[in-house]
Amino acid sequence: MENLRQAIDELEAQAGLDVRELSALVDRLQAVLCRELRDGVRRGDHLIEGKTPNGWVASACRVSGSSAADRLRVGEQLERLPRVAQAIRSGEIGYQAAAVICHLSDLLGEKREQIDEEQWIQFSKDFSIKNLRRLAEHARFVADPDGAERDTEEDYEQRYLYLSELGSMYKLDAVLDREGGMALKSALESLTKRLGPTDVRSPRQRRADAFKEIVQHALDRGTLPRRNGVRPHLSVHTTPDGLKGELGDGMPVPRKTVQRLACDCAMHRVVKAGSMVIDVGRAKRTAQPAHWRAIKARHTTCAAPGCERPIGWTQAHHLEFWSRGGETNAHRLVPLCYYHHRLVHEGGWQVVLAGERVEFIPPETPVMLRRRWGEKRWAA
């Protein structure tokens, strides 16, 4: 070991080392470490410390439990795969590639004889680690379909999803099965493209907004199972003053958000005397089907410049805020996707009509509007 320390000291003192050769040496040392860990477990070194084999390796190497299991597996399987072990020593393949082959060997058990070591060494040279893992997974289904299906079912049982409150936000933590994960990934990817020049969100913010859009779209379509005879949806309680932006601070839902939700939603009146409900009005959508037919005649996508979100994924926005006296008039409604609708209400942007063209004005940008003397016009 002293010679090894001296060799490492000499390497550290040098500059301009060949990184490929250095990487091959590190991989070779990893294989030696795996062998020693295997031998230590066989001697019972872990029992001296009162630990499981995994716990001992994790503690000795200061790695996670999964990394510890991986090193024990590699040490065990390299003994059964002499050609793969030689390929690591010679630098033909790296440690990660060898670990993939060893993992396949471990899963196949007695059927590992079907592994052609020379062929897999060549695969390791030709494919990336990601593709090598996929190839190994396919090989497992071919060589041991029953075992592969059993493991798939065991993995499926590990799925979960937690949604918890985190201050004024929500935190989502989930592990999905492959089918569910691929479906969600495909859906998110279809909605995470930048929406025109005004879209300055980071990729992770676009993914969060895309997830919200997917949920809102499912609620709007009304295809989810009914709950207590009613379509599941969000319910926001406010007051006339709240819609006018006169709520005090500290409300659970910010007043600007309430105003945005009121742009195109099912609204109903509930009149109270103290805590007693004395009248409940009938729900009415602010943008009626006739309004939407007129909107769709003018627009096929979100009205924001450069945005390609389809019309079916938008809400009707009042150019003059409904809470400020704006009327639900087809000519004064424009379709906005979730991102651009929020940009207007919570982000301080303005939407104005220039003829038939819709223009977005960023905050604190002066805009000249022609109007008659004394006329009050809201640009929003």
Per-residue pLDDT of 271-287, as tens digits, reads 555 555 554 554 454 66
Within a domain: 292:
no
Within a domain: 373:
no
Burial string for 337-346 (b: 16+ CB within 10 Å, else e) reads: bbbbbbbbbe
What is the pLDDT at residue 234? 55
What is the pLDDT at residue 349? 85
Same-domain check for residues 187 and 210 = yes
**263 neighbors 322 (Cβ within 8 angstroms):** yes
The residue-averaged pLDDT of 158-167 equals 93
Residue 183 has pLDDT above 70, yes or no: yes
Residue 251 has pLDDT above 50, yes or no: no
Residue 295 has pLDDT above 70, yes or no: yes
What is the pLDDT at residue 179? 85
Confidence tier at 366 by pLDDT (50, 70, 90): low
Within a domain: 320:
no
Residue 148 has pLDDT above 50, yes or no: yes
The residue-averaged pLDDT of 255-273 equals 60
What is the domain extent for residue 7? 2-156
Same-domain check for residues 145 and 164 = no
Last residue of a domain, one of 107, 131, 156: 156
What is the pLDDT at residue 228? 53
Lowest-confidence range among 114-118, 159-163, 260-264?
260-264
Q: How many domains does the chain have?
A: 2
Residue 50 has pLDDT above 90, yes or no: yes
Within a domain: 338:
no
Residue 370 has pLDDT above 60, yes or no: no
What sign has the CA pseudo-torsion 342, 348, 353, 359? Answer: negative
Same-domain check for residues 77 and 152 = yes
Last residue of a domain, one of 187, 218, 249: 218
What is the pLDDT at residue 378? 44
Residue 374 has pLDDT above 50, yes or no: no
Same-domain check for residues 64 and 173 = no
Residue 127 has pLDDT above 90, yes or no: yes
Partners of residue 165 on adjacent β-strands: 170
Cβ-based burial of 83 (10 A; exposed 0-12, middle 13-18, buried ≥19): middle
Confidence tier at 376 by pLDDT (50, 70, 90): very low
What is the pLDDT at residue 304? 87
Residue 258 has pLDDT above 60, yes or no: yes
Cα gap 351→305, rounded to integer Å? 11
Same-domain check for residues 93 and 188 = no
What is the pLDDT at residue 226? 63
Last residue of a domain, one of 196, 218, 240: 218
Same-domain check for residues 45 and 133 = yes
Cβ-based burial of 231 (10 A; exposed 0-12, middle 13-18, buried ≥19): middle
What is the pLDDT at residue 243? 54
Residue 249 has pLDDT above 50, yes or no: no
pLDDT tens-place string over residues 336-362: 888 888 888 878 888 887 777 778 888
Confidence tier at 149 by pLDDT (50, 70, 90): confident
Q: Specify the DSSP element, H or E, that contains 294.
A: helix 289-298
Same-domain check for residues 91 and 176 = no
Same-domain check for residues 127 and 150 = yes
Higher pLDDT, 317 or 251: 317
The residue-averaged pLDDT of 372-378 equals 44
Same-domain check for residues 123 and 65 = yes
Same-domain check for residues 207 and 144 = no
Q: Quick one: which of 45, 61, 77 has its CA closest to 53?
A: 45
Identify residue 62 by its one-letter amino acid code.
R
**214 neighbors 187 (Cβ within 8 angstroms):** yes
Cβ-based burial of 239 (10 A; exposed 0-12, middle 13-18, buried ≥19): exposed
Confidence tier at 51 by pLDDT (50, 70, 90): very high
Q: What percent of the chain has pLDDT over 90?
A: 39
Chain-wide mean pLDDT for the chain? 81
Same-domain check for residues 119 and 173 = no
What is the pLDDT at residue 59? 94
Compute the CA torsion angle 325, 310, 208, 249 (nearest 10 deg). 0
Lowest-confidence range among 39-53, 226-240, 299-313, 343-357?
226-240
Confidence tier at 32 by pLDDT (50, 70, 90): very high
Lowest-confidence range among 119-133, 299-313, 314-328?
314-328
Within a domain: 281:
no
